[in-house]
Amino acid sequence: MSMYDAINDECGVFGVYSDKVSKLANTVYYGLYALQHRGQESCGIVVNDGGVFGYHKGFGLVNEVFNPENLAKLPKGKIAVGHVRYSTTGALTAANTQPIVVRHVKGPMAIAHNGNLVNELELRRNYELKGAIFHSTNDTEIISYAVTESRLESGSIQEAVEKAMYKIKGAYSLIIMSAQKLICVRDPNGFRPLCLGVLPDGGYVAASESCALDSIGAEFLRDVIPGEIVIIDKNGINSITTHCNRKTSLCIFEYVYIARPDSVIEGSGVHAARIRAGRFLAKEHQVDADIVIGVPDSGLEAALGYSLESGIPYGVGFVRNRYVGRTFIQPGQDMREDSVKIKLNPISDVIKGKRVIMIDDSIVRGTTCGRTVKLLKEAGAKEVHVRISSPPFISPCFFGVDIDSKDRLIACKKTVEEIAVSINADSLGYLSAENVVKIAPNAKCGFCTGCFTGKYPIEVPKKMPKDKFESKITQY
């Protein structure tokens, strides 16, 4: 699957508490940079300077939104939090950028959220009936109300967060900054990753993925436990454990596609998981061929795994134009057909006359995959055998990944054989649902495979709430 295709990642969160670092905003900047793959639509940084919050947010990549001037303007401080976002709920409006920064009964509070609530509609209605007003369509604003409501009857922010956790349901990895504290929370199922690190000169960091710790030279400490509330303040790092003994269900697609290969989640490396996915795929769907290639960038590692397992040589089949970015425009309609070629060009030398195994991580609608196969055939491939390093998508994700709607998922409408025909592949094989959960064998948790099986670890709403709100208020 190409990086600009139909599956959108979700969000990345980052927080830091340190009185040693001279400019915390820069630390967050680097951290968000490393998490950029989790959200390219908007980003923001909030710095807490002794209870006074300064922030900057905007639309675009981290290095578009931030520059030396606005970073310099942000206050120095001891606590900071940042966010990169792709919208899973909530339209593309400024009110929906994160971290959300509000004043509540106890002063300022900032919240960065990765995930998606399943009882968003009930909660929203409940707060509306109590007089709440909403500026955004973002469920993070609902979480703010839940924490604020609990705060009125709690002695501390952590107590309020704990109470709020019994109201909000779904996937949430949260970093909350209050006047004094940095609070890191992971939902009881642990749908999304969240980990902790230690800065070389002292202080703590929290981030969606360990690659963000590496990028700032922090040492990995541990994952936040599902259901845990970690409190970082002048007393150091403390923890409240809630929802104990609950079955956990980390999103398996984090290993397949979302996370960066250099991250380690719940003790299992992402790169190794993808190599392993390729190996399983080779065992499940053998075929006689001359070369194994991956669709850049996300299919390359599974291709290497397939090659290692099958003994069929690994090759570089495509050149990806590394300048095709978020802002790539297609000025004319007459060349739409060739848009795949602008991003991806096959290397004829490698392909010509060969029986090719092409590995990708997933198929959504089938259109892109079909075009990619076509490119290989035009470049002279004798046969193209498509292998997908995850099972077919047959159901939506309610926990923070924006998979296309069911009626556009090709696997909801066609059998594997029919898909093979429609993408013009000589054969097609998906990794089985049995094996996909084995790609991260060291992970100390269970997995959610809802999008592949339709079986979800917690109750889900009848339909996605996204569409309901999107159309009511739009910012241009």
In the region spanning residues 306 to 345, those forming contacts with a copy of itself, defined by CB under 8 A, are 308, 313-316, 318-319, 321-325, 327-329, 331-332, 334-335, 338, 341-342, 345
For 251-305, give the DSSP string: ETHIIIIIS-TT-EETTEEHHHHHHHHHHHHHHHS----SEEEE-TTTTHHHHHH
Instruction: Pick the closer one to a copy of itself by CB: 235 or 336.
Output: 336
Per CB under 8 A, the list member of 115, 203, 269, 278 interacting with a copy of itself is 269
CA angle 338, 300, 392 (to 5 degrees): 80
Residue with tokens 């800065």: 199
Taking the complex as a whole, the smallest distance from the CB of residue 237 to a copy of itself amounts, in Å, to 23
Element (H, E) at 221: strand 219-223
In a 3-state reduction of DSSP, which class is residue 37?
helix
Cβ-Cβ contacts under 8 Å for 135 (sequence gap 6 or more): 95, 141
Of residues 395-414, those binding a copy of itself (CB under 8 A): none
Of residues 96-135, those binding a copy of itself (CB under 8 A): 101-105, 107-109, 127-135
Instruction: Pick the closer one to a copy of itself by CB: 199 or 224.
Output: 199
Instruction: Pick the closer one to a copy of itself by CB: 378 or 434.
Output: 378
Spell out, one character per residue from 226 to 265, where the chain touches a copy of itself: x when CB under 8 A holds, - when not.
----------------------------------xxx-x-
Instruction: Decide: is 72 part of the binding site for a copy of itself (CB under 8 A).
Output: yes
442 in Cβ contact with 389 (< 8 Å) = no
Number of CB atoms found within 10 A of residue 257's CB = 22
Per CB under 8 A, the list member of 9, 41, 162, 214 interacting with a copy of itself is 214
Beta-bridge mates of residue 291:
356
Per CB under 8 A, the list member of 5, 122, 290, 297 interacting with a copy of itself is 297
- Residue 342 is given by DSSP the state H
Which region among 7-15, 170-178, 186-194, 348-356 touches a copy of itself (by CB under 8 A)? 348-356
152 in Cβ contact with 104 (< 8 Å) = no
Instruction: Decide: is 222 part of the binding site for a copy of itself (CB under 8 A).
Output: no
Per CB under 8 A, the list member of 22, 234, 353, 407 interacting with a copy of itself is 22
Instruction: Pick the closer one to a copy of itself by CB: 131 or 236.
Output: 131
- The amino acid present at 268, given as its one-letter code, is S
Taking the complex as a whole, the smallest distance from the CB of residue 414 to a copy of itself amounts, in Å, to 29
Taking the complex as a whole, the smallest distance from the CB of residue 455 to a copy of itself amounts, in Å, to 30
Instruction: Pick the closer one to a copy of itself by CB: 310 or 449.
Output: 310
Instruction: Decide: is 204 part of the binding site for a copy of itself (CB under 8 A).
Output: no
54 in Cβ contact with 46 (< 8 Å) = yes
Per CB under 8 A, the list member of 7, 13, 34, 196 interacting with a copy of itself is 34
- Decide if 397 is catalytic: no
Instruction: Decide: is 365 part of the binding site for a copy of itself (CB under 8 A).
Output: no
Per CB under 8 A, the list member of 211, 364, 420, 451 interacting with a copy of itself is 211
Of 68, 57, 41, the closest CA to residue 98 belongs to 57
Instruction: Decide: is 346 part of the binding site for a copy of itself (CB under 8 A).
Output: yes
Per CB under 8 A, the list member of 119, 140, 144, 395 interacting with a copy of itself is 144
Query: What is d(CA 207, CA 264) in angstroms, rounded to the nearest whole number?
Result: 12
Pairing of strands 291-294, 318-320: unpaired
Instruction: Pick the closer one to a copy of itself by CB: 218 or 423.
Output: 218
Taking the complex as a whole, the smallest distance from the CB of residue 168 to a copy of itself amounts, in Å, to 15
Of 436, 450, 295, 411, the closest CA to residue 361 belongs to 295
Instruction: Pick the closer one to a copy of itself by CB: 240 or 324.
Output: 324
Instruction: Pick the closer one to a copy of itself by CB: 236 or 323.
Output: 323
Per CB under 8 A, the list member of 14, 17, 33, 280 interacting with a copy of itself is 33
Which region among 213-221, 365-373, 390-398, 451-459 touches a copy of itself (by CB under 8 A)? 213-221
- The CA-atom distances, in angstroms, between 268 and each of 20, 218, 388, 391, 448 are 31, 19, 21, 20, 16
Of residues 437-476, those binding a copy of itself (CB under 8 A): 471-476
Of residues 166-195, those binding a copy of itself (CB under 8 A): none
Termini Cα distance of the chain? 30
Q: Is the dihedral of CA 335, 336, 339, 340 positive or negative?
A: negative
Of 130, 159, 132, 155, the closest CA to residue 147 belongs to 159
Query: What is d(CA 369, CA 386) in angstroms, rounded to the nearest whole number?
Result: 9
Q: Which residue numbers are catalytic? A: 11
